[in-house]
Amino acid sequence: MINDILQQLHITAANSGVSTGTIWLDAKGPVIQASSPVDGQDIATVTAATRADYDQVIETAQAAFKEWRLWPAPRRGEVVRQIGEALRTNKEALGKLVSYEMGKSLQEGYGEVQEMIDICDFAVGLSRQLHGLTMHSERPGHRMYEQWHPLGITGIISAFNFPVAVWSWNAMLAWICGDVCVWKPSEKTPLSAIACQQIIQDVLRSNKVPEGVCCLVTGGRETGEWMAADTRVPLVSATGSTRMGKAVSSVVGARLGRALLELGGNNAIIITADADLDMALIGCVFGAVGTAGQRCTSTRRLIIHESVYASFTQKLVKAYQQLRIGNPLDENNHVGPLIDKDAVNLYLDSIEKIKAQGGSFLVEGGVLSGDAYASGCYVKPCIAAVENTYAIVQHETFAPILYVMKYNNLDEAIAMQNDVPQGLSSAIMTLNLREAELFLSQAGSDCGIANVNIGTSGAEIGGAFGGEKETGGGRESGSDAWKSYMRRQTNTINYSTSLPLAQGIKFDL
Ligand code: UN1
């Protein structure tokens, strides 16, 4: 099956990982072996960019920007509309490839491509709504307004866990804004990136989009470092670990470039005594085990009111016993593998730390073995009773480890929810209006995303996506996140016959 998909997406045994849109460069960098955590098979090779390849891409992108910024935004939106159509046509194939290369369930693979289609639709409408404000001037015969202009090259560094959607949130907005994009995908999922490039090539060609608007530079950490340090790249949008984000941000900051960061989360759900526990269960379990706990929005902590702690944890344990772990392309399974053996080792190491720091397990973890788990990347989702203050609980472990803890009053629960370095997503399960509103108030959750009666993961593209503190502060996707991809210009126009100075200053010659 996978061979048909690879063929449909024009992925061959050996691929260049460097493209300026419709042209694939004869890349000369290191060869990356793409493999699948589903069955441990090698899939194909991808040749990464050398510094010279990278420079060639950036120069092509710079030249393309000079042209692309002159296209009317709705015309750029029309190109994005057609990209959305191409993604619809290829949804099944791309969804399957994402599932196979990354290991998320097929439903989630399709869901990820659906997010791409949704952001295309959103960006098409937005291409006619890049609004600025008008102001009243303090001077007679003057008019003031602001406009938003394209910025230049947007560098996009994306992570393995959402190998295609996060790129599209950035690229589709950047394009309608008039920017050009250079994408450095995760070296753990390069084929999904190549497939995207292949899918949209015909649209670029038939619309005569300048070569260099949609570029791909596959590579490792060093490639990201080139981008972060490159003054030709005014905006670097990076998704990944807090450690990576700090490194990117300090280099981009040192040159006073713009960094848009979407980093780690340590997302909690508060289960109050007034929660609908059966409904809460679905949100908690999907949030914790979906994508095998490898979403930045994955639910990592449950803060449960002491009066429902016993009954809710009982439900949780029962639900975990029913989880089917296995090949994510088989829709009967709930949980697929972790991305690679390094991730498995981090998971095991975290379990040891939980024990050493005083935690006890309600559901034990462990690595699965046997024919169905030959890749060595399948692990058991587990649940540990802990204290919020444990060092391991304060840390984001990208694996299906769920922490449970008790609280007594809501202020205490909110304080626990906020008392971690990260600030991405949060939720409360309650049917009590006072509790819900307190949680959403300025004295409530300190996260970029705060939900009531749904879980922490699975945000819709229409809202701004991102978070505070170590999550990095950036906002991608919906609402007015587009403003990060443009530069604001304030314009004052004097149509009077004199030149009065602002602030009443007199200056006569
Ligand atoms: C991520 O894990 O980097 O809200 C993105 C969600 C998805 C996006 C997650 N829409 O879970």
Helices (H), 127-189: 165-176
Tell me what pLDDT residue 1 has.
77
328, amino acid identity: P
Beta bridge partners of 3: none
> Is the Cβ atom of 451 under 6 angstroms away from ligand 1?
no
Query: Which atom of ligand 1 is nearest to 290's Cα?
Result: 11
> Is the Cβ atom of 164 under 6 angstroms away from ligand 1?
no
Q: Kindly report the number of other CB atoms within 10 A of residue 401's CB atom.
A: 27
Average pLDDT, the chain: 98
For residue 23, pLDDT over 80 is answered with: yes
* Spacing, Cα 196 to ligand 1 middle (Å): 18
Position 118 confidence tier, pLDDT thresholds 50, 70, 90: very high
* Spacing, Cα 25 to ligand 1 middle (Å): 31
Host H or E run for residue 25: none
Q: Tell me the pLDDT tens digit for each residue of 395-453.
A: 999 999 999 999 999 999 999 999 999 999 999 999 999 999 999 999 999 999 999 99
Mutate to test the pocket of ligand 1, among 457, 475, 476 (most ligand atoms within 8 A of CB): 457
* Spacing, Cα 297 to ligand 1 middle (Å): 6
Q: Is the ipTM of this complex over 0.95?
A: yes
Catalytic residue annotation: 262
Q: Tell me the pLDDT tens digit for each residue of 474-498.
A: 999 999 999 999 999 999 999 999 9
The Cα 445–Cα 424 span in angstroms is 10
Provide the percentage of residues in the chain whose pLDDT is more than 90. 99
Average pLDDT over residues 463-478: 98
Average pLDDT over residues 338-356: 98
Tell me what pLDDT residue 465 has.
98
The Cα 372–Cα 358 span in angstroms is 33
Structure tokens at 194: 């190549």
Average pLDDT over residues 136-159: 98
pTM of the model: 0.97
For residue 233, pLDDT over 90 is answered with: yes
153, amino acid identity: I
Tell me what pLDDT residue 313 has.
98
Tell me what pLDDT residue 328 has.
98
The Cα 75–Cα 85 span in angstroms is 16
Q: Tell me the pLDDT tens digit for each residue of 29-45.
A: 999 999 999 999 999 99
Q: Kindly report the number of other CB atoms within 10 A of residue 32's CB atom.
A: 20
For residue 73, pLDDT over 90 is answered with: yes
Position 364 confidence tier, pLDDT thresholds 50, 70, 90: very high
Q: Tell me the pLDDT tens digit for each residue of 124-135.
A: 999 999 999 999
> Is the Cβ atom of 167 under 6 angstroms away from ligand 1?
no
